[in-house]
Structure formats: structure tokens, C-alpha cells
A = this chain, B = another copy of it.
Amino acid sequence: MSSATSVTAGLLVIGDEILSGRTKDVNIGATADFCTDLGIELKEVRVVSDETDDIVAAVNALRSRYTYVFTTGGIGPTHDDITADAIAKAFGVALPINPEARAMLEARWRETGTQVNEARLRMARIPEGADLIVNSVSAAPGFRIGNVHVMAGVPIIMRAMLEALAPTLQGGRRVLSETVRAAVGEGTVGGPLGELQAQYPDVKMGSYPQMGQGRVMTELVLRSSDAQRLAEATTKVRAMVDAAHRAAGVEPPQD
């Protein structure tokens, strides 16, 4: 199926704590929502551990495939925060203390009476040639190098960085969506939905069973950047679902 937008993204989530289950990721969903709002098509997510070679391989795979790459995690002050090192290695550049980043951190540390030490100064190491991404929450900046945007893993900081980035990103055409709710199972609508999908290749149709509500329910979601084609396809899907309700002798969903 052709994509509704030509601006694409890949997300790399970095951190042993996600892979061990100790921390439950919420940054994938936040980045997905952010991309959809901007008309950027998030095409792939990878989660890797805090190991340099794994990060380098994943960043290089993603940055060659997608318009934008976002990374989250591993830019704090401790020994397991190696994302900046890995990104510098992936781009083949040095990782010096960045004077602007250091000034941002020192300004915050003066306000909070925090002592400057070697661990904290790790957070001012920025790959050569990168631009900083402002961190309004805790000052330690992210950075952009090439098409790769390196952000913190702490969700509130990551979301603040995404907001800071938004004006710098070129969005695709906004993707519109319609939802049709059916009071029958996926197996009932699957055949006719597949036929409608074939008639409307430019309107992406998804089918999502709603489990655990004590009744059979399926949500059909249609997405397209073409409002008129979306409206046409939605009308046909609604008619198909209405027919399925009548054939099954069930009431349409009320909500």
C-alpha cells in the first residue's frame, strides 16, 4: 500500500531498563502521536541495550532509511549513559565538551547550588557539528546531528525536547482518519473490508478487535491524506458494516 506521506521517521529507544522490564516504555507512544500530528510517518521502532555497537548499528540502519531518526535514553551523567559516544562513533566525529552545553548546565547548577564534577560534565559532551536541543526541564541538552535527534529517556524531558524540535521538522501532508465501529467480529467484516481496501488503495484500512468488553466489537480505522477519498471510502465501509449488523440481527453500537 502506498504511503500517504513521504516524510518518514525511525525511533531508537536505548536502555537496558526497557529490555529487562524494569521500566515500561511510554516514549514510543508519545513519539508515534507526535509524528502523526505532524504528518510524519513513523515507520519503525527499535529498542536496544546500553551497548555501543548495538546503538551504532541501529542508528546507522535507521538514519539511512528514514527522513528523521529520534533516539531516547542514555544521555545522563552515569557510566551507562553512552548514547553520545555511540552517536559520535556512528558519525565518525569527536565528542568534545560543548561550550554552549556547558554554559547551559553551569547556569542551572549555579541556580541550584549543584557542584560541577566530571560525571555531570559528561552531559556537556556533544558530537562535533551537532546542534543542541534545549531541555527546559533539567537543562542537560539533547542534540541533532545530520537527521538524527538525540533526546533524553525520562518521558517528561523527552516530550519537552519533542516540542522544542517540532518547528524545525518538515511535516508531510496531514493524515486524516475516520473510525467506524461495528458490533460484529473481525471475521464477519474481514472479507468485505478486504474488497473495499482493494478499491481504495490510497485509503489505509485497519481492523482492531476490542477485547474484554463483554461483547463483540470491532473498530475499523481509515486513514488518508485525501479528504474526499477518505469520505467516499468511509461511506462504503459504513454501508458494509450496517449490512453486517442487519445480517447478524444485532443493533449498531450506540457510542
**A87: which B residues are within 8 A, CB to CB?**
none
Once the chains are docked, how many angstroms separate the CA of A185 from the CA of B123? 13
Once the chains bind, are B49 and A35 in contact (CB under 8 Å)?
Answer: no
Q: A28-B47, A45-B46 are in contact. Are A189 and B78 (CB under 8 A)?
A: yes
For residue A131, CB closer than 8 A to chain B, the reply is no
For residue A207, CB closer than 8 A to chain B, the reply is yes
Once the chains bind, are B19 and A24 in contact (CB under 8 Å)?
Answer: no
For residue A99, CB closer than 8 A to chain B, the reply is no
For residue A114, CB closer than 8 A to chain B, the reply is yes
For residue A100, CB closer than 8 A to chain B, the reply is no
**A137: which B residues are within 8 A, CB to CB?**
211
Q: Mark A145-162, 1 if CB is under 8 A from B, else 0.
A: 000000000101100000
Once the chains bind, are B45 and A32 in contact (CB under 8 Å)?
Answer: no
**A190: which B residues are within 8 A, CB to CB?**
76-79, 117, 119-120, 122
Once the chains bind, are B191 and A119 in contact (CB under 8 Å)?
Answer: yes
Once the chains bind, are B47 and A19 in contact (CB under 8 Å)?
Answer: no
Once the chains are docked, how many angstroms separate the CA of A123 from the CA of B212? 20
**A251: which B residues are within 8 A, CB to CB?**
none
Once the chains bind, are B45 and A33 in contact (CB under 8 Å)?
Answer: no
**A157: which B residues are within 8 A, CB to CB?**
211
Query: A25: which of B28, B43, B205 is its contact (CB, 8 Å)?
Result: B28
Once the chains bind, are A212 and B156 in contact (CB under 8 Å)?
Answer: yes
For residue A194, CB closer than 8 A to chain B, the reply is yes
Once the chains are docked, how many angstroms separate the CA of A175 from the CA of B83? 25
Interface residues of A in 179-211 (CB under 8 A from B): 185-191, 193-194, 197, 204-209, 211
Interface residues of A in 42-62 (CB under 8 A from B): 42-51, 54
Chain B: minimal CB distance from A29 (Å): 4
For residue A16, CB closer than 8 A to chain B, the reply is yes
29 A-B pairs in the complex with CB atoms less than 8 angstroms apart: A16-B206, A17-B206, A18-B32, A19-B32, A19-B41, A19-B42, A19-B44, A19-B45, A21-B42, A22-B208, A24-B29, A25-B25, A28-B28, A44-B49, A45-B46, A76-B207, A77-B185, A78-B194, A79-B207, A80-B205, A80-B207, A81-B207, A114-B187, A118-B191, A120-B190, A122-B190, A123-B187, A156-B212, A157-B211
A21-B42, A44-B47 given. 10 additional CB < 8 A pairs?
Answer: A1-B51, A13-B45, A19-B44, A19-B45, A20-B223, A24-B26, A44-B49, A79-B194, A119-B188, A123-B187
